[in-house]
């Protein structure tokens, strides 16, 4: 079974694109397992299952027959996603891209960029705009 950690933020459209990318993997319904991961900045008592983005991704994956689990953590998103992928011995990490100017990336950083640069496994980056 091919295991993908799908690092989801609060953006429902990005989550939908990430779910689509996973369901488009070969033999997704039979041979792919997804861990939907949301990382909270602080422990505010919220649950990942209450987020619209997680719900949207979950619904799309379930409709496609992809086995999944939902995981939530508190901490720094990139480091946490990398740790979860390593602990689970995931085959890949899926992140949602977004358009940013070079200055915006330099000032605000990028979770996707950090994961791409530090990952020791393939990273699937979905597009920043709907096609």
Domains of the chain: 2-126 (3.40.50.620)
Q: How does DSSP classify residue 117?
A: H
Q: What is the pLDDT of residue 128?
A: 60
pLDDT at 123: 96
Whether pTM exceeds 0.75: yes
Residue 128 tokens read as 């920043």
Confidence of residue 97 (pLDDT cuts 50, 70, 90): confident
Average pLDDT estimate for 75-80: 95
Span 21-37, pLDDT tens digits: 999 999 999 999 999 99
């Amino acid at each position: 079974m091919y295991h993908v950690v799908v690092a989801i933020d609060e953006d429902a459209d990005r989550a939908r694109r990430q779910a689509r990318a996973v369901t488009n993997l070969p033999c997704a319904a039979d041979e792919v397992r997804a861990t939907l991961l949301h990382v909270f900045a602080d422990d505010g008592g919220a649950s990942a299952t209450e987020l619209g983005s997680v719900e949207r991704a979950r619904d799309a994956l379930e409709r496609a027959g992809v086995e999944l689990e939902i995981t939530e953590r508190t901490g720094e998103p990139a480091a946490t996603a990398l740790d979860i992928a390593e602990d689970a011995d995931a085959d890949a990490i899926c992140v949602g891209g977004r358009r940013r100017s070079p200055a915006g990336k330099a000032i605000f950083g990028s979770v996707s960029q950090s994961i791409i640069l530090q990952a020791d496994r393939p990273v699937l980056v979905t597009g920043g705009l709907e096609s």
